[in-house]
Amino acid sequence: MQGLIAVLLGLLVVAALAVSASRKLLPAVIIFMSYSLVMSMVWLLLEAPDLAITEAAVGAGITSVLLFIALKRIRELERDLKESEDEVRAYLAHREREESNDV
């Protein structure tokens, strides 16, 4: 039992380091979700089922869903920003052509 808890705690450390080292948001969210699931297993092994249920529901459930929604929103904003940048570039190119024709 103690060996299993030690292994799970080691996985928690690895997951925490992986989240902080991740350069991409989606893998970081997935690793964070696995961290919460492993932590809920640790709580079960420590005979704290109420904490295990809370960790699974809040950590792996609600928080992960909110992070996925935020990630989706960030991607939408990035796409909108790129479209706006393209429109500004097209406008500036058009103005430059008009000014060169006037000269």
pLDDT digits (tens, 9 = 90+) for 63-76: 999 999 999 999 99
Q: What is the pLDDT of residue 100?
A: 82
Domain membership of residue 37 (yes or no) is yes
For residues 4 and 1, the model is more confident at: 4
Domain membership of residue 94 (yes or no) is no
Domain membership of residue 84 (yes or no) is no
d(CA 6, CA 102): 76
Domain membership of residue 57 (yes or no) is yes
Q: What percent of the chain has pLDDT over 70?
A: 99
Band of the pLDDT at 103, cuts 50, 70, 90? low
Q: What is the pLDDT of residue 18?
A: 95
Owning domain of residue 44: 2-74
d(CA 80, CA 74): 10
Domain membership of residue 60 (yes or no) is yes
Among 96, 97, 90, 35, CA closest to 60: 35
Q: What is the pLDDT of residue 93?
A: 87
Has this prediction a pTM greater than 0.75? no
Q: How many CB atoms lie within 10 A of CB 100?
A: 8
Number of domains composing the chain: 1
